[in-house]
A = this chain, B = another copy of it.
C-alpha cells in the first residue's frame, strides 16, 4: 500500500553544497522540496521564477542574487521574467528567501517524511492531482503526503466539504451526513483537518467507507490541531491521506491556513461550504473555488443563529448553488448528468407524514384526493353532515351538470358518495380509521 519515498538519485546529489548551499540542487525533485521550504505558500514570485528557470536553476539563481544582486538581475536568465515580475519585486523576494538558504536541508526533511512512511509528490508525477495546475504560479512546489500517495486517483472524483471550526451541532450533523453520503457514492472527501465542520466531514467520509484527504497548513510530521490527532492518524494510516505543501517541521501559521485553502479548492471537483459564519475562513476556500470556476455549493441553515450567514451570503450573491443532501452534492461534483439526484419524491423523508396530517386536518380522505380535482370539487360541495340535490350541488361547486355527474359518479364508484331519493351525501369510509389514526398522533 505504501509507495517508497521519492529519494533523489544519489548520483545527482553532489556531496558538497554548490553555490553557497549545503546541498546540490541539480535534482529537480530535491530542488522543489527545497523551494517548499524557502518560499511561503502561494508566493507568486517564487512560482514565476521556478516556472521560468526550473526549480534547481531558480534556486541557484537566488543564491547568486544574494551574493551579487546587480549581476543576477542583469543576467540573461531572468530577463524575460521582467515583463511579469518587476525587478524590485524580485529583489524583495530574494531578501525574503535569503534567510532560509543557509540552513536548507531538504534531504533531512525527506528522511523525516520517510520515517513516517510518507511520499513527496511534485508536478509531473502521475500521482499529482491535475486540478492543482489551475493555480498557475501559485501551484504548490511539492506535496508532502502521508497515507495514500496517489492523490490523482483520490482527487478524480472528489468534493471539498469545508466550514467553520466553531460549528454548531446542526453543522456537524449535516457535514457528517453529507460526507457519508458522497463517500457512499464513491467520492473522496477533501477538507482541512480542522475542528468543527472539517473534522465532521472527515469522520463522515470514513464512516461512509471512502478515502478522505486532509490538507494541513503545517508539516505532516505534526498532526494539528491536537484534538484531531487520532482522526488525522487514522487518515494517514489507511483511511486516506494527510497532505501539506510545507515540509515537516513547519508550523501552521495563519497565512499558511489561508494559502492552504487554495489547494483544497483546486484539487477537488467541487467545493461545498457546509456551515460558515460571516467571517469564517471557509469562505476563502469558497472564493478560491469560484476564482477557479469550480462548482461551488453552500448548505443553508437556520437564519436565526448566524452560524450559516456565510453560506447565505454565497447563496444570495449567486456564487454558490443551494445544496441540501448528498445527492445534490454528488450532482454538483460529478461529471455533467452522471450524478443527477433522484426525483424529490423518492428521497424526501418527512413529506408523507406531513401531507397526511394536512389532509386529515381538512377532513378530506386521501381517496378523494386521489380521484383528481373534479371529484375533489364535488366532494367540497357536498355538505359535511347532510345531503343536497343536484341543483344545489351544481351551484355550490360551480360545475356544469355533466361535470357534476361525472364527479359524483367517480365518488360513488369509490364508495365516497351516495344518493338517496335524488339527494347526495358524503360517505366517510375512513371515519373510524381516521379517528383511530389521529388519536395516537
DSSP majority for the A interface?
helix
Inter-chain contact B299/A301, CB cutoff 8 Å: no
Q: Which residue of B is nearest A93, CB measured?
A: B400
Contacts of A396 in B (CB 8 A): 251
> Which residues of A are in contact with B by a Cβ distance under 8 Å?
39-40, 43, 92, 95-100, 103, 165-166, 170, 173-174, 177, 251, 253-255, 277-279, 299-309, 311-313, 315-316, 321-325, 328, 344, 348-351, 354-355, 357-358, 361-362, 364, 373, 376-377, 380-381, 391, 394-396, 398-403
A166 and B354 contact, Cβ closer than 8 Å, known pairs A98-B400, A403-B96: yes
Interface centre among A39, A100, A377, A400 (most CB of B within 10 A): A400
Inter-chain contact B304/A302, CB cutoff 8 Å: no
Inter-chain contact B306/A100, CB cutoff 8 Å: no
Contacts of A395 in B (CB 8 A): 99-100, 103
Contacts of A322 in B (CB 8 A): 300, 312, 315-316, 322
In-complex Cβ contact of A306 among B39, B97, B323, B351 (8 A): B351
Inter-chain contact A377/B92, CB cutoff 8 Å: no
The smallest beta-carbon distance between A105 and chain B, in angstroms, is 12
Q: Which residue of B is nearest A253, CB measured?
A: B380
Contacts of A398 in B (CB 8 A): 39-40, 43, 96-97, 100
Task: Name 17 A/B residue pairs within 8 A (Cβ), A-sorted.
Answer: A40-B398, A43-B398, A95-B401, A103-B395, A170-B302, A253-B377, A254-B364, A277-B351, A278-B351, A301-B301, A306-B351, A309-B344, A309-B348, A312-B322, A315-B322, A316-B322, A316-B328
In the complex this chain forms, how many copies of it are found?
2
Q: Which residue of B is nearest A392, CB measured?
A: B99
Contacts of A305 in B (CB 8 A): 350
Tell me the complex Cα distance, A305–B277, Å. 21
Q: Which 8 A/B pairs are nearest by Cβ-Cβ distance?
A: A300-B300, A95-B400, A306-B350, A99-B394, A315-B322, A303-B324, A40-B398, A253-B380
Contacts of A402 in B (CB 8 A): 95
Contacts of A309 in B (CB 8 A): 324, 344, 348, 350
Inter-chain contact B350/A399, CB cutoff 8 Å: no
Tell me the complex Cα distance, A6–B173, Å. 59
A348 and B306 contact, Cβ closer than 8 Å, known pairs A251-B380, A322-B312, A328-B316: yes
Contacts of A39 in B (CB 8 A): 398
The smallest beta-carbon distance between A178 and chain B, in angstroms, is 9
Q: A43-B398, A306-B351 are in contact. List 9 more A-B contacts (CB 8 A).
A: A97-B398, A98-B400, A99-B399, A103-B395, A278-B351, A279-B351, A300-B312, A309-B350, A313-B344
In-complex Cβ contact of A358 among B166, B355, B357 (8 A): B166
A278 and B170 contact, Cβ closer than 8 Å, known pairs A103-B395, A398-B39: no
Inter-chain contact A303/B306, CB cutoff 8 Å: no
Inter-chain contact B344/A315, CB cutoff 8 Å: no
Contacts of A381 in B (CB 8 A): 253
Contacts of A362 in B (CB 8 A): 254
Inter-chain contact A165/B358, CB cutoff 8 Å: yes
Tell me the complex Cα distance, A355–B307, Å. 12
Contacts of A97 in B (CB 8 A): 398
Inter-chain contact B251/A391, CB cutoff 8 Å: no
Tell me the complex Cα distance, A315–B297, Å. 12
